[in-house]
């Protein structure tokens, strides 16, 4: 038992002896009892034990004898015997709460927390003036893992002794432990108010404030504290965290750097510094801190991912891929890493490898619309429009997105143009019609459908689409030209002339202007005849 506990038991014993009279003991028993007291005082514990036991044999109903024996056994460290004698005394003196206090303290020493609690809980009713029992109850309930009961006992004790610093400190600490941050803050602030010159638990107070998310208060309180205690890395970490959450990036970086100066072993701080430097646009310095972090913590995939993104943004796709691949080795199912590796290979023009990484990502999450979109984008970049269309549609089936829809429309248009250029007019027509299903006012689809029918010599149908194009975009010069040609083919010279002239008005520098001007002259001559 520690020295403090020995003192505690000695004090308890003194209280018990005062509360239990011995004047009723018979003469013979008293003789042995007094002899025992003298021997005990002379530190002859063995002799004292013999005399106390003789007294107990003669007067077995005298609680004081068992209390003395219990004290003697306690001094010898014979806790089991001490416990048995205290229990005998308790049976004889049913109203003495201090006996249960002693029993509880011994059981606590023996780590019998249930037994200690059962003993302590009897004390308030038997000895209501002894308020320190609530500290004992708080201690044993804490050891039993009963947080709420621990807190309640501390609060009860503090209601009698509000200035007891250690009890309030313990209460605040327990509240913080179970994330009752607001209450913990109140207790710490009471300690600061009551004992401003002796309060040193700034770290836990700071942690509690951080948990309340009152970051500006953290800054207001801890900025001056850090000035007074500049070499405490934990306090600077708290302040840096507050700056982080108020988006004061440069101040956060400055504090984190000070932390590293104080304690270079706090290697995780390198990660935080790198992260903020990157957000501040200091990519090269961010790389230095990420590399310093990786040198000490080589198994964090997030560090490699972040480095990979920085290199990617710098346009160094090979170095970016190197970092991302190292992260992937540590975490093969990381979707973000797989997607960024796919993006790098896309930007490098290595479409096959890009598809490979995106397909790997799909194995881990087949419901991610972004992955389908990225695969579609790769196919679109390599002119595989049908496959691009397929994956754009899969992306849209999961999540409706206007950008993806526009890219799908552009893929249909590109597929239609490709077919039109190779004279696959029926296929081209189908692609353009798909565009109009998605975007009925799409000028490009209407115009190109007109051109398809023009190439099929179906000038009547071509005219319909050219006219619809003009209705949507009357400032589109070329449509007037091809509409004019269509009308011309049908020998509708008057209307053809109107459209040719409109074309010349809107596009006076177009390469077709000389030919159109020549045809206009011919048609005007025809009209004059």
* Tens of pLDDT, residues 247-306: 999 999 999 999 999 999 999 999 999 999 999 999 999 999 999 999 999 999 999 999
Look up residue 127 and give its DSSP letter. Answer: -
Q: Distance from CA of residue 393 to its chain's centroid?
A: 34
pTM: 0.70
Query: What's the CA angle centered on 138, arms 135 and 140, to 5 degrees?
Result: 110
Torsion sign across C-alpha atoms 411, 415, 418, 420: negative
Could you give the C-alpha distances from 303 to 59, 265, 268, 313, in angstroms and in order?
78, 18, 11, 16
Q: What residue ranges do the domains of the chain occupy?
A: 1-130, 373-440, 458-529
Q: Tell me, yes or no, if the two domains 1-130 and 373-440 fold the same way.
A: yes
Cβ–Cβ under 8 Å, residues 259 and 266: yes
Domain 373-440 belongs to what topology? 1.25.40
Tokens, residue 107: 């059981």
User: What confidence score (pLDDT) does residue 20 get?
Assistant: 44
Q: What's the residue count for the chain?
A: 529
Place domain 1-130 in its CATH homologous superfamily.
Tetratricopeptide repeat domain (1.25.40.10)
Enter the tokens of residue 350: 């290595």
Number of helices (H) and strands (E) in the chain: give both, helices first. Answer: 31, 0
Q: What is the token pair recorded at 346?
A: 């896309």
Q: What is the pLDDT of residue 94?
A: 73
Please tell me whether residue 391 adopts helix, strand or coil conformation. helix
| C-alpha to C-alpha distance for 305 and 324, rounded to whole angstroms | 5
Which 3 state secondary structure label does DSSP give 298? coil
* CA separation for the pair 85, 71 (Å, rounded): 9
Radius of gyration of the chain (CA): 45
CATH of domain 458-529: 1.25.40.10
- Is the CB of residue 69 less than 8 Å from the CB of residue 78? no
pLDDT, tens digit (0-9, with 9 covering 90-100), for 309-343? 999 999 999 999 999 999 999 999 999 999 999 99
Number of Cβ within a 10 Å radius of residue 477: 15
Nearest to 354 by CA among 364, 340, 368, 365: 340
Name every residue whose Cβ is closer than 8 Å to that of residue 219 and which is 6 or more positions away in sequence: 239, 242, 243, 246
With beta carbons less than 8 A apart as the criterion, state whether 73 and 85 touch. yes
The end-to-end CA distance of the chain, in Å, is 129
**CA atoms within a 13 Å half-sphere pointing along the CA-CB vector of 346:** 22
**pLDDT by position in tens, the chain (length 529):** 343 343 344 444 444 443 444 446 889 999 999 999 999 999 999 999 999 999 989 989 888 998 999 899 988 889 899 889 988 888 887 778 888 898 899 999 889 999 999 999 999 999 999 999 999 999 999 999 999 999 999 999 999 999 999 999 999 999 999 999 999 999 999 999 999 989 999 999 999 999 999 999 999 999 999 999 999 999 999 999 999 999 999 999 999 999 999 999 999 999 999 999 999 999 999 999 999 999 999 999 999 999 999 999 999 999 999 999 999 999 999 999 999 999 999 999 999 999 999 999 999 999 999 999 999 999 999 999 999 999 999 999 999 999 999 999 999 999 999 999 999 999 999 999 999 999 999 999 999 999 999 999 999 999 999 999 999 999 999 999 999 999 999 999 999 999 999 999 999 999 999 999 999 999 998 887 6
Q: How many other C-beta atoms can be found within 10 angstroms of the C-beta atom of residue 381? A: 14
Give the CA angle between residues 281, 286, 289 to the nearest 5°.
160
- pLDDT score, position 13: 44
How far is C-alpha 142 from the geometric centre of its chain's CA atoms? Answer: 29
Burial class for 86, CB neighbours closer than 10 Å (0-12, 13-18, 19+): buried
Using a 10 angstrom Cβ sphere, with 0-12 exposed, 13-18 middle and 19 or more buried, the burial of residue 397 is: exposed
């Amino acid at each position: 038992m520690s020295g403090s506990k020995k003192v505690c038991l000695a004090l308890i014993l003194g209280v018990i002896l005062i509360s239990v009279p011995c004047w009723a003991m018979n003469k013979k028993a008293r003789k042995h009892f007094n002899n025992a007291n003298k021997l005990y005082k002379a530190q002859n514990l063995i002799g004292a034990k013999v005399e106390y036991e003789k007294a107990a044999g003669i007067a077995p109903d005298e609680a004081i004898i068992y209390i003395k024996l219990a004290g003697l056994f306690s001094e010898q460290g014979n806790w089991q015997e001490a416990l048995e004698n205290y229990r005998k005394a308790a049976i004889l003196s049913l109203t003495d709460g201090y006996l249960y206090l002693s029993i509880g303290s011994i059981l606590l020493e023996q780590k019998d927390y249930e037994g200690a609690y059962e003993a302590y809980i009897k004390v308030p009713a038997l000895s209501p003036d002894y308020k320190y029992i609530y500290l004992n109850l708080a201690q044993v309930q804490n050891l039993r893992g009963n947080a709420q009961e621990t807190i309640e006992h501390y609060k009860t004790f503090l209601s009698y002794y509000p200035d007891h610093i250690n009890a309030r400190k313990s209460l605040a600490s327990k509240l913080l432990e179970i994330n009752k941050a607001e209450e913990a803050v109140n207790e710490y602030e009471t300690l600061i108010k009551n004992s401003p010159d002796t309060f040193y638990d700034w770290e836990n107070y700071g942690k509690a404030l951080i948990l309340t998310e009152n970051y500006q208060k953290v800054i207001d309180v801890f900025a001056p504290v850090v000035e007074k205690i500049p070499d405490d890395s934990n306090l600077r970490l708290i302040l840096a965290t507050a700056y982080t959450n108020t988006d004061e990036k440069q101040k956060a970086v400055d504090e984190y750097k000070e932390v590293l100066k104080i304690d270079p072993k706090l290697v995780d701080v390198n990660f935080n510094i790198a992260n903020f430097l990157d957000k501040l646009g200091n990519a090269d310095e961010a790389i230095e801190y990420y590399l310093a972090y990786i040198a000490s913590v080589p198994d964090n995939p997030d560090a490699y991912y972040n480095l990979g993104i920085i290199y990617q943004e710098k346009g160094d796709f090979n170095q970016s891929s190197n970092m991302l691949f190292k992260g992937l080795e540590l975490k093969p199912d990381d979707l973000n890493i797989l997607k960024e590796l796919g993006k790098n290979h896309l930007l490098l023009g290595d479409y096959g490898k890009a598809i490979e990484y995106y397909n790997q990502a799909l194995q881990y999450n087949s419901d991610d619309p972004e992955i389908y979109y990225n695969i579609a984008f790769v196919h679109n970049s390599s002119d595989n429009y049908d496959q691009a269309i397929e994956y754009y549609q899969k992306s849209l089936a999961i999540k409706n997105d206007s950008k993806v829809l526009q890219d799908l429309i552009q893929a249909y248009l590109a597929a239609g143009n490709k077919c039109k250029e190779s004279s696959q007019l029926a296929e081209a027509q189908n692609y353009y019609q798909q565009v109009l299903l998605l975007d009925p006012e799409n000028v490009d689809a209407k115009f190109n459908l007109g051109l398809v029918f023009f190439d099929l010599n179906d000038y009547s149908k071509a005219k319909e689409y050219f006219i619809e194009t003009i209705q949507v975009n009357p400032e589109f010069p070329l449509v007037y030209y091809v509409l004019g040609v269509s009308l011309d083919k049908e020998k509708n010279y008057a209307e053809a002339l109107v459209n040719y002239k409109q074309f010349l008005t809107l596009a006076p520098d177009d390469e077709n202007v000389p030919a159109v001007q020549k045809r206009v002259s011919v048609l005007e001559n025809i009209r004059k005849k």
